[in-house]
Copies of this chain bind each other. A is one copy, B any other.
Amino acid sequence: MAKELVMGIDVGGQSTKLGVVNEEGEIIAQTVISSLQEELIDYITELTKAIKTLIADTAKEGKVKGIGIGAPNGNYYNGTVEYAPNLKWSYDGHGNPTIVQLASLVKSFTNLPVTVTNDANAAAMGEMAYGVARGMKNFIMITLGTGVGSGIVINGEIVYGHDGFAGELGHTIAIRDGRQCNCGLKGCLETYCSAMGVRRTAQKILSQNPDKPSLLREVDFETISSKDVFDAASKGDEIAVEIFKTTGQILGRSLADFVKFSAPEAIVLFGGLAKAKKFFHDDMVAAMEENQLQIWKGRIKILYSSLKDSDAAILGASALAW
List the B side residues contacting A295 at CB < 8 Å: 82-83, 163, 165
A264 vs chain B, min Cβ distance (A): 6
User: A293: CB under 8 A from chain B?
Assistant: yes
Interface flags, A260-297, vs B, CB<8A=1, else 0: 11111100000000000000000000000001011110
Most chain B CB neighbours (cut-off 10 Å) among A83, A161, A164, A293? A161
Interface flags, A18-44, vs B, CB<8A=1, else 0: 000000000000000000000000000
Question: Total interface residues on A, using CB and 8 Å?
Answer: 43
The residue that A176 contacts in the complex, of B154, B175, B260, with Cβ under 8 A, is B175
User: A50: CB under 8 A from chain B?
Assistant: no
Majority secondary structure of chain A interface residues (helix, strand, loop or mixed): loop
The residue that A154 contacts in the complex, of B82, B154, B165, B299, with Cβ under 8 A, is B154
Given A161-B264, A263-B162, A264-B162, do A185 and B293 touch, yes or no (CB 8 Å)? yes
Q: Which of A166-174, A218-226, A232-240 contacts B (4 or more CB under 8 A)?
A: A166-174
| A172→B260 contact, CB < 8 A | yes
List the B side residues contacting A264 at CB < 8 Å: 161-162
A288 vs chain B, min Cβ distance (A): 12
| B82→A169 contact, CB < 8 A | no
Given A83-B294, A154-B159, A294-B184, do A263 and B164 touch, yes or no (CB 8 Å)? yes
Distance of A262 Cα from B151 Cα, bound (Å):
10
**Interfacial residues, chain A to chain B (CB-CB below 8 A):** 82-83, 137-138, 152, 154-155, 157, 159-169, 171-173, 175-176, 183-185, 253, 256-258, 260-265, 291, 293-296, 299
Further pairs besides A164-B263, A171-B260, A261-B261: 6, Cβ < 8 Å: A159-B261, A161-B262, A168-B293, A172-B257, A176-B176, A183-B293
19 pairs from A and B in contact (CB 8 Å cutoff): A83-B294, A137-B162, A155-B157, A159-B261, A160-B263, A161-B263, A161-B264, A162-B263, A162-B264, A163-B295, A163-B299, A167-B263, A168-B260, A168-B293, A169-B261, A173-B291, A183-B293, A185-B293, A261-B261
